[in-house]
Structure formats: structure tokens, C-alpha cells
Amino acid sequence: MKFDTPAGANPIDRLKVVGKPTDRIDGPRKTTGTAPYANDWHDPQSRLAYGYVVGAGIGKGRIAGMDVSRAEAAAGVLAVVTAANAGKLDRGAFYVARALAGPDVDHYHQAVALVVAETFEQARAAAALVRVDYVRSEGVFDLAAAKDTAVAPKAGPFVSPEAKAGDFEAAFATAPVRIDESYGTPDHAHAMMEPHATVASWDGDRLTLWTAIQQMNWGVRDIAKTLGIAKGNVRLVSPFIGGGFGGKGTILSDAVLASLGARAAGRPVKVSLPRPLMFNNVTHRPATIQRIRIGAGPDGRITAIGHESWSGNLPDGPPETATEPTRLLYAGPNRLMRMHLARLDLPEGGAMRAPGEAPGMMALEIAMDEMAERLGMDPVAFRVLNDTQVDPENPRRPFSRRQLVECLRRGAELFGWERRVAKPGQVRDGRWLVGMGMASAIRGAPVMRSAARVRLDGRGMVTVETDMTDIGTGSYTIIAQTAAEMMGLPLDRVVVRLGDSAYPESPGSGGQWGAASSTAGVYAACVKLREAVARRLGFNATDAVFEDGQVRAGNRSEPLVRAAAGGELVAEDGVEYGDLAEWFALQTFGAHFVEVGVDVDTAEVRVRRMLAVCAAGRILSPKAARSQIIGGMTMGIGAALMEELAVDARRGFFVNHDLAGYEVPVHADIPDLQVSFLDEIDPAASPLKAKGVGELGISGAAAAVANAVHNATGVRVRDYPVTLDKLLGGMPEAA
């Protein structure tokens, strides 16, 4: 099916199943512990062996020698894999880090060996017997120190090194009101609960991986490329994923090493990364240094807006695209967006929930608050004044739907923004200084080709198969809702099978494209199945109505199940997208409002309440969508107040590489978060007129917290996280 014109009326519009606050259909399996995650895979007949990774003990250098003899002789050991016996290894097309060091070591905890043994304990004990002699070399581990060596990154599908309109420098220089400030965001860890884990099994030259991975198609491509085998000889299975946030986009070292270990041992091998290797061996969100310049007239209209960002990565790695949201969020005729990329010898920087928007808006939305204060304007009113209904870089390209102003105004009303005291440090509640802050939210709404297979059997059950994954977002449920709506069935008559590369290809979970894309693929397959059903029952497919388990046209009605009386009906199709994204800017929008309390003596910050108002097309499952938004808000609170990977700039590693040292929000940190969705459909987005929401909730959330802290205390912190040591020196008198 080709989607190249905005969607018209279709069966989804009935909203008998889609759009309802549905319980997760996979919920019972997760709550009873019967949902199989990668690390749970176990077949008593498989003679499963276990691999343990030996990580490099230096941040940069080479391996001068390695003695694995004691490890090989240890009890239960089946094989020790190193660069010397692994064979030629390539890299995938997405991540740039090499899975196995040797002779060069590119970053700390890069794998130097994998020990495979009968049990996990034997593998771990033997791994401690591997002796490695290193020759250290000087590495670059500090972004601030490397800033002046940064260059323009290579352009790519997700990277625009520079974007300009008008004459920014001249307009900024002559603007009556200006700000020119720098902001910093630290390295962040994905810190998902489920570890990176893979079970690998070879059958001749065919490889099967049970793994935790978000994009199955990328994974097949990348493991085949890395190992030098045919894509057709690879199968990935990932029915459930315990959190990813972009950190499991495609195959990483666990998948490569498990594959090598299984080949060496001649048996299936399980590799699970210990928590320290999840921080230093695989990817993270890289730190940024951002400079934002805004010029405006006395009336508050922005005349010049400039955003530059510096980030670092391994050679060939991409930048953090922090300037992207500024390109589309506010009007202003004179614009300059520029990215700079430094080479760092830290673990690879990669995508993390809302890459670009999350760190970029941590800076931009503080800058907007500072500008509003300098103008003497209310922060909400300043943002409303500078709204635009067209792409600021290409005014001939309108937004498909843009309800940012509506989000801002509804949020202000629901939150009681009129009670905010503009002058900072004026509101006390006992020992707490109280402040309010807000920020806008924007996140792209891309869609990609997605396919599915649907079956109608003799029991009247519809089964959906697609390699789409569920990383805790509700993919099973929204896909079931789509099929149920299209086929006129209740939800309990639909079975959903996901996360197997043998199924029709979807774009997987990531980039906020999963929901809109995968449900569109299911929609297309169901259109074909409806046509097959109509033919078998003797109906005209155009006239047939599928409802309550019946197929009707005119005065005639037949049970849907009768269409499968002569045998199962199977249909497969996908949606291919035309050029609507060139004609329309496809984005989601929102507004965050936060109230914080700051202890007058200790500067401890507590979020007291928080609201997000979102406009993201048709909301397919309000319950799941709310969960996604509050999850993003929670991560935004973490980014604002506590999350920071501490870099040892001498030895080149993240020191706090576990959940004891890397702080994330816990229940005591999070109040009752509120979410409100605007009524919206976007016919240009997908056949379901829906968009994703998974990353909108974090975009702007951290800045709203930081702005609230400033309103409470009068202290402006521009380097995240906003910790008490950065507040104490400027706090108002406690008395």
C-alpha cells in the first residue's frame, strides 16, 4: 500500500477499539513472570553454555600480550575467544565501536576476551585468570579540553551539520535585546533494568540469536556484516525487551561475542553484560556544550536565533544533534544552527531517548526563559508570541498539525500558571522556597516502511505477525487494537506475535516512529485480509462493513468466521510512504509545567507537581500513551536533578558505572504526574492519523524543572544536573 496522500475516512475512524484506554494485553505475562526476555532463554536439551566478558583495563592503548592458558585450563571452560582466534570482524552500519579489542584498545571496558564455560560461575572465575599486558597511550577524555579541536560532522540521514537562514550575525548584533549564554549537559547512561543479553546458536552456517534489540532489521544487517555471513542465514528473536531507550537499537558486543563464543564452543552460548559493562562497554548519551544566542525587539519578537553544539565521539561516530529542535520550534527570520564534533576516546556516544531534542531543549528552553525575563515578559506569552505555523527555514512548508500554542495555553490553565510570582525567590512554604517553571516540547514524527502478516483461522481468531518490538511501550496492545478495529472483532479475538526477524519487516522501536509505522503496516495487511474475506463471502469489499464479528453489506450479514471455513485466510502487506514529509513538517508538540520546592537551608530540590500537555495526532491507546509521557517526564526529572556519568579524565572511563553510583529517580522523587492530550488527528502522518509519543515526554521536561528552580531561588544553573552544590552559594537568606 502506498501512502502518498493524506488519509481520508477509513474503518479506524469508528474508534470502537482504537483510542480506548485499554489494559496491556501482555500485562498478565509480565506480571506473572512468564514473558520471555533474552536472559531468560533456556532449553534443557540445548546444552547451553555461558560466556563472560573480560573488559579492557585501560582507556586507550594496545594489547602487548595476553595469557589465557590458566583460563583455558580452568574447570568447565570450553573456549576463550580473543582477537587472535575470532577471525576477521567488521563493524555494523549503525554503531561504530569494535566489539573486540586487539591489538588496539579504543576505549575502557572494550571486550578483550570472552571466556565460555559450562556454568556462569565457572566462566566468571576463569575470566579472572586472563592476564593482559597493556601499553597505554594518551587519550582524549574531556569534551571541554577537546572543544577547540572539534570539526563539522559528516552530513547524514539524521545529521545536518549546519542550517542557516537570513543574516544571523548582523541581525543578532543589532537586536535591541540579546542573550548569549553557554549551557552544558553531561554524559547520560540508558540505565535500563534489563541487561544487554544474547543467546547465540549455530546450525551449520545459520545463526539464531535470542537477544534484546529494538530494531530487528538493523540487527540482521549488522550482525551479518560484522561476522561476514549472509543476511539470509541470520534469525533474531526478541519478543520482549526490558527497556532500551535507544541503547539497544541494533546488535552490540553481547550479540557479537555470544555468536563468536557459540561458534568456538560448538554449543549455544549466553552472554549477559554485567552492569559496569552496560555503562562503559556499550553506548551512552554523549555530553554537550551548547551556545545559544537570541536577539529580539522590545515587543518580544525574535529576530535572530543561533544554536551551536559541541559533542564528542569515537572516530566515525555521529554527533549529538542538539540543534535540531531549534530549527523548527520558534519563528525568527535570521537563523544559524551549527554542530561541532570532537574525537573522544570514551565509550561510544549513541542515541538515547529523544536524541537531539532531549539535550538540545535542556539548553534552548532555559535560554528562552532567560530571554523572557530580560524582556520582562511572561515565559508562556513569549513562546506564544514566537509561534510559527510554517517551517522557519522553509516558509512554503507548513506543519501538518501544530498545536503548540494550544498546549501552552491549556497547560497554563490546568496548572494554575496565573498564580506564579514572576520575581524569583518570593514564595515560601515553611522551609521550602517554591517556584514554577515551564518549557515547550517538540519531537519529530517520522514514519517508515512497515509490513505485517494477518491470518484468520477457523475459530474466528485473527493473528498478527510483524517483527516490530515491544520495549515496554505497548506495541502488543496498539497492534492488537488496530487489527481488532479493522476486522470488527473484540480485542480478545486477536493474537499478536512480535520480535522475530522471520516475520514481515517493520522499522522497530525507536525514533518515535514505531507506533505510527507499525500500526500502519497492520492496517495495510488488514485491508488485504478484508478484501480476501469479502471475496470468499461474496461481498463487494468496498461496501462491506466489519463489525461485531460480522460482515455486512446491504441487508445481508455473515459471520466473519465463515470466511475461514474452507481454510485459513492469510494476507500480507505493508505501507510505503511517499513524499508527504517533504510537503509538510511532521512533528509532535507539548508543554511542561513544574512546581518545585527548594530547601532554604540545604538547597535540596523536590518536584512537587508536574503537568504535560501533548498534541501527537490520534492517541491509539490513552493508557499506554500516558505511561510513555510520564516515563519521559521521569527521565526529564532525572536529567535535571541527578543524572551524570562522572568521567575519570586521566584514565578515560565512567566512574559511577552501576545503579549505586549513577543516580536515577526513584518513587520518592516523583510526585503524581499529570498528562493531558489534545484532541488531534493528523491525516498526513499515517493511515491511522496517529503519531508517536514515546520521546515527546522527555523533550523540554528537564528545562521546565531547571526553570522552576530558578523561579524558586533566583539561582540560574546552566550546567546540568542542578545539584545543591550549584545552588548553595546564591540562595536567598534562610530567615
Could you give the domains of the chain? 2-35+447-579 (3.30.365.10), 44-138+194-277 (3.30.365.10), 392-445+586-730 (3.30.365.10)
Q: Which pLDDT belongs to residue 42?
A: 75
pTM for the model stands at 0.97
Residue 673 has pLDDT above 70, yes or no: yes
Residue 733 has pLDDT above 90, yes or no: no
List own/partner pairs for 627-632 with CB under 8 A and 24 or more apart: 627/474, 628/473, 628/474, 628/693, 628/694, 628/697, 629/590, 629/675, 629/693, 629/696, 629/697, 630/673, 630/675, 630/697, 631/697, 632/353, 632/354, 632/694, 632/695, 632/696, 632/697, 632/698, 632/699, 632/701
Q: Which pLDDT belongs to residue 383?
A: 98
Burial 146-173 (b: 16+ CB within 10 A, else e): beeebeebeeeeebbbebebbebeebbe
What are the tens digits of pLDDT across the range 294-328? Answer: 999 999 999 999 999 999 999 999 999 999 999 99
Q: Which pLDDT belongs to residue 278?
A: 97
Residue 690 has pLDDT above 90, yes or no: yes
Q: Which pLDDT belongs to residue 46?
A: 85
What are the tens digits of pLDDT across the range 112-128? Answer: 999 999 999 999 999 99
Q: Could you tell me the pLDDT band of residue 43, with boundaries at 50, 70 and 90?
A: confident
**Distance separating alpha carbons of residues 670 and 691, to the nearest angstrom:** 27
Q: Give the rounded percent of residues in the chain with a pLDDT score beyond 70.
A: 100
Report the pLDDT averaged over residues 213-241: 98
Max intra-chain CA distance, the chain: 84
Question: Which residues, at least 6 apart from 294, have a Cβ–Cβ distance to it below 8 Å?
Answer: 178, 179, 302, 304, 305, 306, 367, 368, 371
Q: Could you tell me the pLDDT band of residue 409, with boundaries at 50, 70 and 90?
A: very high
The answer, yes or no, to whether the previous bond of 507 is cis (omega within 30 of 0) is: no
Report the pLDDT averaged over residues 707-723: 98
Return the residue matching grid coordinates 479475538.
Answer: 493
What phi, psi does 682 have (nearest 5°)? -130, 95
Sign of torsion over alpha carbons 714, 716, 721, 726? negative
Query: Which amino acid does the sequence have at 269?
Result: V
**Distance separating alpha carbons of residues 446 and 513, to the nearest angstrom:** 5
Residue 462: strand, helix, or coil: strand
3-state secondary structure 550-583: EEEECCEEEEHHHHHCCCCEEEEEEEEECCHHHH
What are the tens digits of pLDDT across the range 128-185? Answer: 999 999 999 999 999 999 999 999 999 988 899 999 999 999 999 999 999 999 999 9
Q: Which pLDDT belongs to residue 648?
A: 97
What phi, psi does 91 have (nearest 5°)? -120, 155
**Distance separating alpha carbons of residues 185 and 168, to the nearest angstrom:** 25
Q: How many CB atoms lie within 10 A of CB 234?
A: 21
3-state secondary structure 218-276: HHHHHHHHHHCCCHHHEEEECCCCCCCCCCCCCCCHHHHHHHHHHHHHCCCEEEECCHH
Euclidean distance between the first and the last CA atom of the chain, given in angstroms as a whole number: 69
Residue 513 has pLDDT above 70, yes or no: yes
Return the residue matching grid coordinates 552544590.
Answer: 725
**Distance separating alpha carbons of residues 260 and 15, to the nearest angstrom:** 49
Q: Can you list the positions of beta strands (E) in 12-147?
A: 49-55, 61-67, 77-81, 104-105, 111-117, 131-136
Residue 735 has pLDDT above 70, yes or no: no
CA neighbor of 341 nearest in space, from 479, 143, 473 = 143
H/E segment holding residue 295: strand 288-296
What are the tens digits of pLDDT across the range 420-471? Answer: 999 999 999 999 999 999 999 999 999 999 999 999 999 999 999 999 999 9
Question: Across-strand partners of 338?
Answer: 162, 308
Percent of residues in the chain assigned helix, strand, coil, to nearest 5:
30, 30, 45
3-state secondary structure 189-222: CCCCCCCCEEEEEEECCEEEEEECCCCHHHHHHH
Residue 332 cell numbers, joined: 525568527
Return the residue matching grid coordinates 520518592.
Answer: 668
**Distance separating alpha carbons of residues 146 and 131, to the nearest angstrom:** 33
Residue 402 cell numbers, joined: 501544530
Catalytic residue check, 695? yes
Determine contact, residues 619/682, Cβ cutoff 8 Å: no
**Distance separating alpha carbons of residues 705 and 421, to the nearest angstrom:** 16
- Between the alpha carbon of residue 18 and those of residues 486, 488, 560, 657, the distances in Å are 10, 11, 20, 42
Q: What is the mean pLDDT of the chain?
A: 97
**Distance separating alpha carbons of residues 493 and 289, to the nearest angstrom:** 52
Q: Which pLDDT belongs to residue 68?
A: 98
What are the tens digits of pLDDT across the range 335-364? Answer: 999 999 999 999 999 999 999 999 999 999
Residue 607 has pLDDT above 80, yes or no: yes
Determine contact, residues 173/180, Cβ cutoff 8 Å: no
Q: Which stretches of 606-700 are DSSP H helices?
A: 622-641
Residue 636 has pLDDT above 90, yes or no: yes
Catalytic residue among 505, 558, 644, 695: 695
Determine contact, residues 707/438, Cβ cutoff 8 Å: yes
Length of the chain in terms of residues written: 735
Give the strand pairing for 545-547 and 450-456: unpaired
